[in-house]
Amino acid sequence: MGIIFRQPAMAKCRPSQKWPIPDWTPESTKWQAVGIDLCPPMLLSAAKLATGKDSYVLADVQDMRFLRDGAFDLAVSYLNQCDLPDFEANSREVFRVLKPGGRFIIANLHPMRSAVGGWLKAEDGAKLHVILDRYFDEGGRRWKMLGVDFTNFHRTLSTYIRAYRQAGFAIEEIIEPTPEAGDLERFPELDDELRVPNFMIVVLGKPAIAILD
């Protein structure tokens, strides 16, 4: 639901917009959480929910050199890696800024749904089944939502998992979320979430002790 709520903000993203880079110094301890995005309206929306212990930075998550090594206990990537041309660089950067024993939780489009194809529908609009094709053909996929053009990047499940391990992470869990009891009464449009995996959550751990090959 959050994505739908925030789409108007995404539609207004313009690379020329300016956003002050806050004073995030290695010594700074005033923030407990840092939110990073390349889109100023997204940061403004997030900043409205700020608690005072968080701050927001306009930056590319593929290059976070303004954050020092080993500074964070937890990193969360919410529907962002599918937008990145170089998700491997983002994974390496997150590994760098996490403390040993830290966790990286990634919610992403499920690779089966980022490949290609929507629902094949009957004449009355009923969803018959999802079309899955070009799964092993990795790369950009252009699509439209609410009249806005987007480019996402499709990778296979094995490409994601290999890159996380190469970055140094241990795979702790892979979750394919589905609606829970009571959700469908509130959000009947989520019924297809019980038929196909739309999203996946990967829980990664930075080993407390470096493992040498």
Ligand X SMILES: C[S@@+](CC[C@H](N)C(=O)[O-])C[C@H]1O[C@@H](n2cnc3c(N)ncnc32)[C@H](O)[C@@H]1O
- Residue number with CB closer to ligand X (78 or 187): 78
Interface with ligand X (CB under 6 A), residue from 11, 44, 71, 84: 84
- Could you say whether residue 6 binds ligand X (CB under 6 A)? yes
CA distance 178 to 201: 11
Query: What are the E-state strand segments in the chain?
Result: 33-37, 54-58, 72-78, 98-109, 119-121, 127-130, 139-145, 148-154, 170-175, 199-205
- Note whether 43 and 35 are within 8 A (CB): yes
- Could you say whether residue 62 binds ligand X (CB under 6 A)? yes
> Which amino acid would we find at residue 136?
F
- Could you say whether residue 61 binds ligand X (CB under 6 A)? yes
- Could you say whether residue 201 binds ligand X (CB under 6 A)? no
- Could you say whether residue 3 binds ligand X (CB under 6 A)? yes
* Structure-token pair, residue 13: 């993203």
- Could you say whether residue 39 binds ligand X (CB under 6 A)? yes
Query: Binding residues for ligand X, per CB under 6 A?
Result: 2-3, 6, 10, 13, 36-39, 42, 60-62, 78-80, 83-84
